[in-house]
Amino acid sequence: GAGVSQSPSNKVTEKGKDVELRCDPISGHTALYWYRQSLGQGLEFLIYFQGNSAPDKSGLPSDRFSAERTGGSVSTLTIQRTQQEDSAVYLCASSVDRGKNTEAFFGQGTRLTVV
Amino acid sequence: QQQVKQSPQSLIVQKGGISIINCAYENTAFDYFPWYQQFPGKGPALLIAIRPDVSEKKEGRFTISFNKSAKQFSLHIMDSQPGDSATYFCAASYSSASKIIFGSGTRLSIRP
């Protein structure tokens, strides 16, 4: 009965290192989203997974960013060769299959700081 | 065309007053307009949502007004309380697309 779970909650990394952010969606939710929220800014769409369909990667800002979703459940967002401008809160959300109910449930986010 | 424009960026309202946040969109394919509320250190949470076949939806002190011809919608918070202090995001999506497009957010402060 838990909500969307993200780990780690905070991550400090050195510029140039790779990082992996994890998202455990709500059980039974087939849709999963990643968003990025820079300090005091809105939510920037990154990527969307829906069931077995090809993911919508149109929001990924560069080829340093990638994401996968294994078994239709857990998702990992990977940022390679991190840069200082990657510092932000990365939010994951999940929802039931699209249709009448399109409410997205968000996790608490991973705060990434690149030093 | 995918943007949702939100204003104001920040808003200060006295306790008991009415808070009004406005949003505008361009893509007429949008068919779902939610508002999310976010407290510091937390992820956004759905507050209230509307579909374009109605002009108003009310849930407690929160009301969405929707103007389809003007492609605008707004959130009204009646009898605003200090506990309403948060960042509010309007958003839009449509059934055949994948992403939810969010506005830039409004930081609301309710003064006691």
pLDDT tens string B34-76:
999 999 989 999 999 999 899 999 999 999 999 999 999 999 9
A78 touches chain B (CB under 8 A): no
Beta bridge partners of A114: A13
A103 contact residues in B (CB cutoff 8 A): 34, 46, 49
Beta-strand pair A110-114/A88-95: antiparallel
Cβ atoms A42, A36 nearer than 8 A:
no
Q: How sure is the predictor about B111, in pLDDT bands with cuts at 50, 70 and 90?
A: very high
Sheet holding B56-59, edge to edge: B4-7, B19-25, B72-77, B62-67, B56-59
Q: How far apart are CA B105 and CA A67, in angstroms?
A: 26
Interchain proximity B103–A107, CB inside 8 Å: no
Which one of A33, A42, A102 has the shortest CB-CB distance to B105?
A42
The predicted structure's pLDDT at residue A86: 97
